[in-house]
Amino acid sequence: MTVPAALIDALRAEGLAPESSPRRLAEYSYDASNYRVVPAAVLFPRSEGEVSAALTVCHRLGVPVTARGGGTSMSGNSIGDGLVIDLSRHMNRVLRVDEEAGTATAQAGVVLTALRAAVHASTGDRLTFAPDPSSQTRACLGGAVGNDACGNHSVRYGRTADHVVELALVTADGLRVTATRNGIRATDPADTQAAARAEHLESELRALAADHLAAIRTELGRIPRQVSGYHLRHLLPEEGFDVARALVGSEGTCGVITSATVALVPRPATTSLIVAGYADIVDAARDVPLLLLHGPTAVEGVDEVIVETMRRRRGADAVADLPSGHAWLFIETDRGADAADELVHELRTAGHPVDVRQVHDPAERADLWRVREDGAGLSSRLTDPATGETISTWPGWEDAAVRPDLLADYLADFRDLLGRHGLTGVMYGHFGAGCMHIRIDFDLRTSQGRTVFREFCTDAAHLVVRYEGSLSGEHGDGRARSELLPIMYSDEMLTAFDRFASIWDPRGLLAPGGLRATRPIDADLALADVDPHPAQSCIGIGRCRTHSGGVMCPSYRATGDEKDSTRGRARVLQELVRGGAAANWDSPMVAESLELCLACKACSSDCPTGVDMAAMKSEALHRRYARRLRPRAHYTLGLLPTWLRFTPYAAGPLNRL
């Protein structure tokens, strides 16, 4: 898009500090999806007032706005071609925890594990925030609300929508309102303009629900993980006209959420972990209905290729001893040792596993859960157990969902579909909720490969709808699946979706490209016609943005700036190598990006995709200084082994000095 030249000046006139350097734009052109969209500017607001001011300016100038948290969206929800607002850098506080009410209120940019830690500390570990997606150490609350995130324990606790009480948000034209479980109000009661808008919104939303009662009741809420589209069923009279929950999963298209009040749940005192090994992933899925009868807190699955990749990348002892098999289910229960023993007995007598064991050691259990949590990263660069070769896989069709009792048959047909298109996919995910994460070896670089990508995703959409499922079960539709929604929903429902979004944002300025102003699924692909380079091993999952656990990235932990994360540096280098032979290694953005890289190699061991920024920094410096004089410090330190040869002769004078 052509952004008005006055955008930066107008934002600065409001006391804001937008950034638009080539380096900053490179860092925010990507998320964890297949897509790349270069923004016009990036803003790091410090308050809801600054968010309001920015949206007011953008509304006046007609500039699109995309809100962003941890930037871990796998469907392209965190990128946009207008102003990107990063809420994670400054708006990341837990505002209060009310144990008596069983709620917590936090800003949209708070990381989920930080929210949970604050709740645990405030309630003496009695309560917790339930949604726990695998990216919870860097994903933010606003993103969890935007995508209706779930996690490993959704089989017990459901989705984010099941826990939202209130949402404070800023409308597309800068007004501050609060969505509640029974309507909308102005966030500031004295703001008459916002109060009038809240009244108008509520009236329009009630009319929308009344006009489409039958379609909403029959097409929405059919399976536990029906995340695709808008959650209009919460506007029904029998749901209490719950506007807060209706906004969950709207993917930033209705307003910029600045804070949320969420319900808390009791934290289990103890849990038991059972690991069952199977001949293949379909056999594992066949046991899910049996397992659900026992009320587990989690039923998660992984494929042997992920386990083998973990062992090859981090050593054979990186994964605890697993039962025999080629696929595994991790089954967690909080009903005591006797219930766990009963579950194991029933699995062995009535199920399909080839082996079962209980895991009692806490460290071993943590290692096993990490294999599952690192699934997205590990499965992106797979090690074939048979050949040892590396296989690159990509998202695009990674989180469809069906009823758990239909999961096995769906997966069997899905494997046949992969074969018909000449593709390979590795499967893992939330078996207990019928939601599968599947990364596939798409060829997104060539025109022919992109044709296969489009044809496969279209056929996969028809397949999941045939199984009464949802195109998205956790990650949202975004750029990856919104184009395919007409396969899943009727014309009336699509009209209702569009009307819902238009009530909130009539000009369609918020988060275009996904649910609004939908782009083709094969448009804006980051790898299209781009030659391979090691920098592309970063897929944006953002483990380098964590502040606890692991060892990376130390410079990011000190500054909290995307610039100093391994991901941010990789994105800058990815932008650079897009120029091919014309890449300018002297570019200031490269020097700025690598300035605080310690070359400590923590990323090479801690990053699930194996990004080695130290090696990339060496390459960048080599290319920059090829056939040139280097700075004096390079010679001083680089020739240190030579200087040390003379230290015996200089020791005496130096000591006396």
Place of tokens 């040892």: 388
Percent over 70 (pLDDT), the chain: 97
Mean pLDDT, to the nearest integer, of 241-260? 98
- Which helix (H) or strand (E) covers residue 63, if one does? none
Among the ranges 74-88, 367-381, 383-397, which has the highest mean pLDDT value?
74-88
CA-closest candidate to residue 70, choices 133, 157, 117, 122: 133
Whether residue 105 is contained in a domain is answered as no
Enter the tokens of residue 645: 């040869």
Give the per-residue pLDDT at 376: 60
Give the per-residue pLDDT at 3: 61
Instruction: Measure the CA angle with vertex 204, ends 219 and 502; round to 5°.
Output: 75
Whether residue 301 is contained in a domain is answered as yes
Give the per-residue pLDDT at 313: 72
Same domain as 557, residue 415: no
CA 568 to chain centre: 16
pLDDT band at 340; cut points 50, 70, 90? very high
8-state DSSP, 227: -
Same domain as 390, residue 291: yes
Do residues 499 and 515 lie in contact, with contact meaning Cβ atoms separated by under 8 Å?
no
CATH code of the domain in which 365 resides: 3.30.70.2190
Same domain as 572, residue 425: no
Instruction: Measure the CA angle with vertex 483, ends 77 and 507; round to 5°.
Output: 65
Domain boundary, last residue among 413, 441, 469: 441
Give the per-residue pLDDT at 148: 96
- Is it the case that residue 439 has pLDDT exceeding 70? yes
pLDDT band at 1; cut points 50, 70, 90? low
CA-closest candidate to residue 408, choices 275, 289, 276: 289
Same domain as 545, residue 423: no
Give the per-residue pLDDT at 633: 84
Largest CA distance in the chain: 93
- Model pTM? 0.93
Give the per-residue pLDDT at 33: 96
pLDDT tens-digit map of 526-557: 999 998 888 888 999 999 999 988 889 999 99
Three-state secondary structure string covering 548-576: CCCCCCHHHHHHCCHHHCHHHHHHHHHHH
Do residues 537 and 544 lie in contact, with contact meaning Cβ atoms separated by under 8 Å?
no
Same domain as 555, residue 409: no
What is the residue-averaged pLDDT of the chain?
Answer: 93
Give the per-residue pLDDT at 312: 76
- Is it the case that residue 387 has pLDDT exceeding 80? no
pLDDT tens-digit map of 47-56: 999 999 999 9
Same domain as 541, residue 405: no
Mean pLDDT, to the nearest integer, of 129-154? 94
Give the per-residue pLDDT at 635: 85
Same domain as 534, residue 415: no
pLDDT tens-digit map of 352-379: 999 999 998 888 888 888 877 776 677 7
pLDDT tens-digit map of 179-194: 999 999 999 999 999 9
pLDDT tens-digit map of 274-285: 999 999 999 999
Mean pLDDT, to the nearest integer, of 81-96? 97
Q: The domain containing residue 311 runs over which residues?
A: 272-441
Q: What gap in Å lies between CA 647 and CA 654, rounded to an integer?
A: 9
Do residues 356 and 323 lie in contact, with contact meaning Cβ atoms separated by under 8 Å?
yes
Give the per-residue pLDDT at 386: 65
pLDDT tens-digit map of 581-623: 667 888 899 999 999 999 999 998 888 888 999 999 999 998 8
CA 612 to chain centre: 22
Do residues 205 and 199 lie in contact, with contact meaning Cβ atoms separated by under 8 Å?
no
Q: Is 500 in a helix, a strand, or coil?
A: helix
- Is it the case that residue 195 has pLDDT exceeding 90? yes
CA 418 to chain centre: 24
Domain boundary, last residue among 402, 421, 441: 441
Q: What gap in Å lies between CA 376 and CA 399, rounded to an integer?
A: 11
- Is it the case that residue 318 has pLDDT exceeding 70? no
Whether residue 565 is contained in a domain is answered as yes
Whether residue 71 is contained in a domain is answered as no
Give the per-residue pLDDT at 582: 65
Which region, left, alpha or beta, applies to residue 447 given φ > 0 means left and ψ of -120 to 50 means alpha? Answer: alpha
Residue type present at position 106:
A
Three-state secondary structure string covering 636-652: HHHCHHHHHCCHHHHHH
- Is it the case that residue 2 has pLDDT exceeding 60? no
Crossing angle of the two packed helices 491-504 and 192-211, in degrees rounded to 10: 170
- Is it the case that residue 5 has pLDDT exceeding 90? no
Same domain as 427, residue 551: no
CA–CA distance from 43 to each of 34, 60, 89 (Å)? 23, 17, 10
Mean pLDDT, to the nearest integer, of 24-29? 96
**Looking at the 3D structure of the chain, how many domains does it have?**
2
Q: What is the dihedral of CA 50, 113, 511, 38, to 10 degrees?
A: 90
pLDDT band at 331; cut points 50, 70, 90? very high
Whether residue 380 is contained in a domain is answered as yes
Do residues 268 and 288 lie in contact, with contact meaning Cβ atoms separated by under 8 Å?
no
- Is it the case that residue 145 has pLDDT exceeding 80? yes
Residue 629's contacts (CB-CB under 8 Å, 6 or more residues apart) are: none
Domain boundary, last residue among 441, 467, 499: 441
Crossing angle of the two packed helices 566-577 and 613-625, in degrees rounded to 10: 40
Do residues 73 and 135 lie in contact, with contact meaning Cβ atoms separated by under 8 Å?
no
Q: Around Cβ 491, how many Cβ atoms within 10 Å?
A: 9
pLDDT tens-digit map of 426-438: 888 899 999 999 9
Same domain as 638, residue 538: yes
Same domain as 391, residue 279: yes
Q: What gap in Å lies between CA 431 and CA 635, rounded to an integer?
A: 56
Instruction: Measure the CA angle with vertex 453, ends 433 and 468; round to 5°.
Output: 30
- Is it the case that residue 645 has pLDDT exceeding 90? no
Q: What gap in Å lies between CA 551 and CA 544, rounded to an integer?
A: 9
Same domain as 435, residue 307: yes
- Is it the case that residue 381 has pLDDT exceeding 80? no
Whether residue 519 is contained in a domain is answered as no
Mean pLDDT, to the nearest integer, of 97-125? 97
Do residues 91 and 107 lie in contact, with contact meaning Cβ atoms separated by under 8 Å?
yes
Same domain as 437, residue 338: yes
Whether residue 238 is contained in a domain is answered as no
Radius of gyration of the chain (CA): 25
Whether residue 73 is contained in a domain is answered as no
Enter the tokens of residue 502: 């238009």
